[in-house]
Structure 1
Amino acid sequence: MTTSTTPWLRELLSEPGRRDPYPLYARLHALGPAVALPPGSRHAAIVHGYEAVGQVLRDPDFRVLDAEYLDRTSTRWRAHPAVRTMQDSVFHASGENLARTRRLFGQVFSATKAAALEPMIDRIAGGLVDRLAALGADGVPVDFMAEFALRLPSDVIGELLGIPEPDRAGFPRRVRDFDAILEVGQRSFRELRAADAAAEELTAYFAGLLAARRAHPADDLISALADGGLPEPVLLANLIVVFNAGFRTTANLLGNGLRLLLAHPDARTKLGADPALAPAYVEEILRFDPPVHFAIRFAAEDTDVAGISVPRGRSVLVLTGAANRDPTRFPDPDRFDPGRTDNHHYAFSAGPHYCLGAALGRAEGKLALPRLLSRFPSLTLAVEPSPRRHFMLRGYDRLEVLLVR
């Protein structure tokens, strides 16, 4: 089938839409919880209302874009290591494959485990805050993303998996290149080639580390999973994806959160004075400016959502970022309000593919943000950051800050 981009999708993927999608989300909400797209469109519908998004994410009739779905149009995706890696991972798994992978990894990323890891997280955050203080002495601008937001979750997930500290510096570039395939819309050939190269490098690295742990086990996740029953390509794909997601989403939570707090000085002052408020602040940051704005699902059977028929085999674009601003669910949704109650958002998705690392990301956010604000009460932006242009892994490339004035 020839697919086209509808006016709604064109506007979403335009430069203004990528910079600030929220006005478009508000217009979509005025039309109801979902909009049908014309025949021949890439998707059958856009789903953006809170209840409708929850239905799609939880309904077994809607599935992730697995190998069966991709093979219906072409098998050329199998020639791309980046796409194969994603298809072998928990990100696109379904049925028993999904359940088995979540059982193996879930024990490490449970809320109980995340709470037990808080001393480690706090120790790493403390060291990075000291590093920031040294780098920003005498009013020198510091890139918060490079020197803190990426380093904290990278070191936390690195320690969990067992990635040696000297190896971690090489991951951000590879991960950024690999993650480009996740973005909504078409990828350029150049982006796909870079993603494939990154996938091959990451696979080779984790294969070497896995072999080393099989020969000499350590107290880490890779050693624990080395003989856990997953086929090696599947295990390697999941190690890559879990590591990538384990620090890119949390890095953007920290960067987006800091930018929001600097724009809301009253909220920032309250959090700096009372770290106990941090869990509620993290939830509102995730609702108001989440690191992930969309998901795609396809109908395994003829079904419907919000009164719109979705034929078997057709996909829907699920705007979780819009659902988090649904005025029928969140009063005054475009206001940043850390005092909200009943703040159940979709920043971590829902249903079978609810984010494995949600509890860990929350723990990192609630420990890091108050520590930063209390250590650097005069922290300000050095320059306005460049606009964000991604919907998947939405965050700042750089966030230049001044720690002292």
Structure 2
Amino acid sequence: MTGPDPHATASRPCAEAALPLLGSPDPWPGYAALLARPGLHYEQAEHTYYAARHSDVHQGLRHPDLAVGFPFRATRQLFGPTAIDLDAPRHRPARQQVSWFTTRHMPTWNQTAVIPVIDDLIERAATDTPLDVIKTFAQPLPTRVICHILGLPDHEWPWIWKQLRPVIGHIADQRTGMQAALASRDILADRLRHAVRTGVPHGSLLQRLCANAPPDSAVDRTADPIRTALLLLAAGTETTAAAIGNLLWCLQHHPHTWDEVANGTIPAEAAVTESLRLHPPLHSTVRFARRDLTLGDTAIPKGARVQLLLAAANRDPARIGASPSWNPHRSAQAHHAFGGGPHACVGAQLALTELQFLLTALTQRFELAGPTHPASRFRAGPFHYPTELPVRLIPRTTPA
């Protein structure tokens, strides 16, 4: 005699002929449509379940039977098994290798990397004409910071950013650019290996990662320290660059918030948090069902691919109320900009620090002249931010 079917009362997924505009430069109408429907959406062409509601995404990020590990996942193919795509019990020791951005470590990184880079970028910023804040702040800040933290020369950041483009491109769209991504990965791995062999600064993260490794394996391009450093290079640049671009886009369209941060009406943290909720840098993350399960009220079969729509969940009316629009005064609400559960972003504290310190420094030094013209377009895909954003910053005669 068999027991009751645990999925007998679960609803079938909501299926449509085509998924509405997800992954496009303007996915928001599609997210709103999914949030208005019951259950999960099943996309037959992609053999994928899409979770949009906050409760479903929250549960999915923590569900023990929704795995991150998958042999053909882009990050696994590029970096080998790392904390980003290992499940328990292998996940915990792997995560410890990249847990260098807790509150215990942040004062060191702030003083040696974050604050000096922000000060230098602001000093270099031209203010007589509109400047593209994507190229001026969003791209160099996280790249230079992670270079400082790893122990790589600061002047190499443009080269590193360029080498990462094929890697990030393949992660964003696994259907394209595999060979170019592998080639760039190998070039970056060789650069890291050379840095270790010729000596990196004492106390740098690359030195710490290699400190306890056997001398031969520490400089092998496939060794754990090199793979971990590669992961940190990729993860520590793109999402933070996207978050900076989105934050400045929000403030360009809501200049009163800039003034509120400058005069202390609201803390920089409030504006950063609202920007991350409304325009997160990463819009989705994928999981795989290890067995038959139920997510929310939808039955999901073993082996199914489940896309958790972080950006949609952040705007769920059931969580935040009827209006998802910009409101940095709203009561603090948990958002999924950094994922959640055991695979929550290990660099979240570093990213938050970069965002908050940058915003504080900018509002103290400059007035925002208002929009020059809208962002030309937003990048399509899981990483979502403006490709360019001209802003005019006017130096304050007296610091705020």
Q: Percent identity?
A: 26
Calculate the aligned-residue CA RMSD, in Å. Answer: 2.4
**Pair 1:224 & 2:208 matched:** yes
Question: What secondary structure is seen at the aligned counterpart in 2 of 1:401?
Answer: strand
Partner of 2:141: 152
Output aligned runs, 1:25-36, within 5 Å: 25-36=31-42
Structure-1-length-normalised TM-score:
0.85
Which residue, 353, 366, 369 being the options, matches 2:359?
369
Q: Residue 183 of structure 2 aligns to which amino acid in structure 1?
A: A
Which among 189, 200, 204 is matched to residue 186 of structure 2?
Answer: 200
Query: In the TM superposition, what is the alpha-carbon distance from 1:227 to its structure 2 partner?
Result: 4.0
Q: Do 2:35 and 2:52's aligned partners in 1 also have CA atoms closer than 8 Å?
A: yes
User: How many angstroms apart in 2 are the aligned matches of 1:223 and 1:276?
Assistant: 39
In 2: Cα distance, 1:380 partner to 1:303 partner: 50
Q: 1:313 deviation in Å?
A: 1.2
Greater shift after overlay, 298-307 or 345-354? Answer: 298-307
Matches within 5 A, 1:184-199: 187-188=175-176, 191-199=177-185
The aligned amino acid for 1:180 is G
Return the match for 2:77 from 71, 84, 87: 84
Partners of 1:167 and 1:225 in 2: CA distance: 21
Q: CA–CA distance in 1 between the matches of 2:357 and 2:322? A: 28
Label 1:48 to 1:10 Cα distance change in 2 as closer, same or farther (>3 A): closer
Structure 1 residue 381 displacement after superposition? 4.0
Structure 1: give runs of 5+ residues left out of the alignment.
Answer: 71-76
Deviation string 1:36-64 (CA, Å, 9 cap, x unpaired) is 344xx423411111111111111110011
Change (3 A) 1:212 1:332: farther
Measured in 1, the distance between the counterparts of 2:203 and 2:110 equals: 18
Alignment of 1:6-405 (within 5 A): 7-9=17-19, 11-13=21-23, 18-38=24-44, 41-67=45-71, 70=72, 84-106=77-99, 108-120=100-112, 121-132=114-125, 135-136=126-127, 139-183=128-172, 187-188=175-176, 191-213=177-199, 218-229=202-213, 233=222, 234-274=224-264, 277-404=267-394
1:97 positional shift: 3.2
Q: Following TM superposition, by how much is the alpha carbon of 1:96 offset from its aligned partner in structure 2, in angstroms? A: 3.6
C-alpha deviation, 1:276, in angstroms = 5.9
For residues 42 and 20 of structure 2, the distance between their equivalents in structure 1, rounded to whole angstroms, comes to 15
CA distance in 2, matches of 1:33, 1:379: 45
SS in structure 2 of the partner of residue 9 of structure 1? coil
Per the TM alignment, residue 33 of structure 1 is displaced from its structure 2 partner at its CA by: 4.5
Give the conservation status (yes or no) of the 8 Å contact 1:183–1:390.
no
The separation in 1 between residues aligned to 2:290 and 2:184, in whole angstroms, is 32
Alpha-carbon distance in structure 1 between the residues aligned to 2:233 and 2:265: 28
Instruction: Report the Cα distance in structure 2 between the residues aligned to 1:117 and 1:223, rounded to whole angstroms.
Output: 14
1:195 is displaced (CA, Å) by 1.8
Q: Determine helix, strand or coil for the equivalent of 1:296.
A: strand
Separation (CA, whole Å) in 2 of partners of 1:63 and 1:12:
23
Q: 1:266 to 1:251 in 2, by over 3 A?
A: same
- Mark the runs of 5 or more structure 2 residues left unpaired by the alignment: 1-14, 396-400
Q: Match for 2:316: what amino acid?
A: D
SS where residue 287 of structure 2 aligns? Answer: strand
- 1:257 is displaced (CA, Å) by 0.5
Question: Structure 1's 103 and 83: CA in aligned 2 closer, same or farther, altered over 3 A?
Answer: closer
Question: How many residues are treated as equivalent by the alignment?
Answer: 374
| Counterpart in the other structure of 1:73 | none
1:340-366 deviation line (CA, Å, top 9, x unaligned): 223200000011210010011111111
Is the 1:87–1:93 Cα contact (8 Å) retained in structure 2?
no
